[in-house]
Every structure is written in C-alpha cells, then in structure tokens.
Amino acid sequence: MVYIPVMFYWLWLSIKSRSMFFFNTANPGMKNGGFAMDNKNDIYAHIPSQHCPKTLLIKAGTALDFIGMQLPLIAKPDIGQRGLQVKLLNTLDDLAQYARNSKVDFLLQEYISFPNEAGIFYSRMPGSNKGTVTGIVGKELMNVTGDGKSTILELLVKNPRYLLQIQSLTKTDSSMLQNVLPVGETYYPAPYGNHSRGAKFSDLSHQISLDPLQHIDAVCKKIPGFFYGRLDIKYSSWSELCAGRFMIIEVNGAASEPAHIYDPKHSIFFAWKEIIRHWDILYRISKQNRQSKGLVHMTYREGMSMIKNNKQYVNLTTA
C-alpha cells in the first residue's frame, strides 16, 4: 500500500535506464547489487573486526550440539529476508534444534548486548572520497516489563503494536509466554530491531548534524563495491557511536529502505518523498557505475529469474 503510488517513479527511472533492474550496478561488490539473494557472510569478511561480531557460516544439514563460541548466539540465514528465521539461541539445545530445522546455510553470530540499535543509511557517489548519511532510524525492540502478576502473553496483548506478533510467538515460544515476570524485569521476545517483528522505529536523522559519518564512511569504503545501503548497528550511546565504538550486525544493499519513514510521527507524504529521494540516489549511483566501470544492467529475464529464486528461497526457509 505504501509503495504502489510511487511505483510510477520507479517506472520512470527504469525507462531512463532501459532496465527495470537498473539497481544491480549500484553495488558491484554485492550479488544483484544487494537487492536479493546476496550472501551476508561475504560482506562480513570485509568489515574490520572491531566493528563486526564473530560470525561462522554453517552449511545446511550440519548436525550441531557444540561450537567454539560463547552463548547466547544469534542464528540467521546467510541470505537474509527481513528478519526471517532470525533467532536468539540461549542453550546448546536451541543450537542443535536450529541446525536440525534449517534447510539453508545459516550464520552463527555472537550476540551483541549493546542497549541501542539503529539503521544508518549510507550512500557514496562512485569516484567520490566521501560518502553521505541520508537517514538514521532508531529501533525500539519489542519488549514488556513485568508487574509480578501478568504473564508475558497478557502483557503483550495490552500493547496494540504487538498484537500481530502473538501468533508467530505462540508457535515458537508458547511456554515462555506463560511465564510471569517479576516487577520491573524486562523481556524482549524478539531481541533484534526488525519492523516486521514488532520493533518501533523512530527518525533520528537530526543526529546527522552530530557527525557519525567519519567512522561509518571508513568502514563502508572497506567493503568492495559498496556505494548504497543501510547499516544496522548496535551501540552503547550516541557519543560512543560518534567516537567509532559500534558493531555492525547487518549490511543491506539496493533493497534497503529509508526506514526512518516508519516513525509514527511521519505522514505518508513524507514517506513517499523520502522513498523517491533515495531511489533517485540509487539511480544516479547505478548510472555512474555503469558508465565509469562498463557494467551491464540486469536483463528482464535475469531480473525475473532473481525474483523467482528469491521466492523459492523464502519458501524453503519457512518450510
């Protein structure tokens, strides 16, 4: 519903590019420009160790009941899908069960306990020595605080934002939902900031003036062929972030949304304006990469094949 009205602008950019899939040249270092079917582990390999959680790639079908990493761990498919099948593993039994159930290659990543999470939208024109932060979204994770008498389920039901999450949580954590939290204790049913998993997004773009760019820019330039996308990071405080102390938990490419549009204070008109602004940046970067590097846009057949493969992957992940 959000995107249908602005698809006419995408069509216009496609006509100018002579390709509906012009975005594939935006990030030459990422498969399909980072729009779909790109491997997360390939990106993590280029992020400096002080900014990247320890990460292991596990092949599908590998039986696991022990691994040389300290629990808790985050498990997620190597090819990401908007938080699909991302799970916090607290015990070896959790690890073994996740490995048994996963039909795709997945990553095990050390859990970063920094209290704050944000998405920083980054872009850099090819040939430029400095990139730009075009939006920052803060992420308030789905959480409930105990009153000493209500179950976690009862606390969740009281918050309208969480009602759409009840069904999926019941499938995966039904026993936990019946626990009664002590007074003041906070529980996070989804320990990561994904909008489709109940997180509340807030627009922190005004913080750009406090210059988080220097260290973000340095990291992004170490990722080969990366010019456009969103970094999801965790940090202790804004001053720590600006001083370069943060951890990158996800790098998203051409499919990245300017997620600050989902701040409840913004109107749909603001969202459309920001989407178009970022699509325009995507178009200009793609065009310049194509012209300066001799890259070729994805054909219609290749693009439709990518969409088909992505759909099959999602079905396999959720089977």
Predicted confidence band of residue 124 (pLDDT cuts 50, 70, 90) = very high
Return the CATH number of the domain spanning residue range 13-141+194-269+299-318: 3.30.470
Length of the chain: 319
Q: Which amino acid is at 4?
A: I
Ordered by start, the domain boundaries in the chain are 13-141+194-269+299-318, 144-187
pLDDT 10s digits, 159-176: 888 888 888 888 877 888
The phi and psi torsions of 75 (rounded to 5 degrees) equal -110, 140
- Closest to 78 in 3D by CA, of 93, 62, 94: 62
The whole model's pTM is what?
0.89
pLDDT 10s digits, 93-117: 889 989 998 999 999 999 998 989 9
Number of other residues whose CB lies within 10 A of the CB of residue 302: 15
